[in-house]
A = this chain, B = another copy of it.
């Protein structure tokens, strides 16, 4: 059943991600199937300074909004900088990696379709 859900994002419990190629990342599932979301999920990630997501490819898209901090996107061999207030659309099937190159925590929303999780 799908009900209204509204709260402070940082009050949602964070889970450490343990996966090959991942360093210093937590995930908070803000809105997902478990809340009755019909189509897509909103997650909040935090990457510690020097941390990174895996360099990987998958057949679903990411829609990303950088909330705080700064970093670089490794995308098919090229590094591209971003900071808070930027958004990133990563198409399906394209190699990518998020890297925190700043001094503080880098926070970003990453939304994915329901059939990816």
Contacts and interface: CB of A to CB of B under 8 A. Distances in A.
Interface string A74-98: 0100001010011111111010000
A39 B37 contact: no
Q: How many copies of this protein are present in the complex?
A: 2
Contacts of A10: 85
Interface in A50-88: 60-61, 63, 65, 67, 73, 75, 80, 82, 85-88
Interface residues of A, number: 39
A6 interface: yes
A9 B86 contact: yes
A47 interface: no
A86 B40 CA distance: 18
Given A40-B40, A92-B38, A63 B4 contact: no
